[in-house]
Amino acid sequence: MARQSISFTEPNDEWLKAQIEKKEYSSKSELVNDLIRQARKQQVQIDWINAKLEKAEKSGFTSDSKDDILKQSKALLNG
The whole-model pTM stands at 0.63
- Torsion, Cα 59 62 68 69, to 10 degrees, reads -80
> What is the DSSP-derived secondary structure letter of residue 64?
S
Mean pLDDT of 45-62: 83
Mean pLDDT of the chain: 89
Cβ atoms < 10 Å from Cβ of 53: 20
Can you tell me the distance from the alpha carbon of 71 to that of 61, in angstroms, rounded to the nearest whole number? 17
Q: Which of 22, 25, 28 is nearest to 5 (CA)?
A: 28
Higher pLDDT, 77 or 38: 38
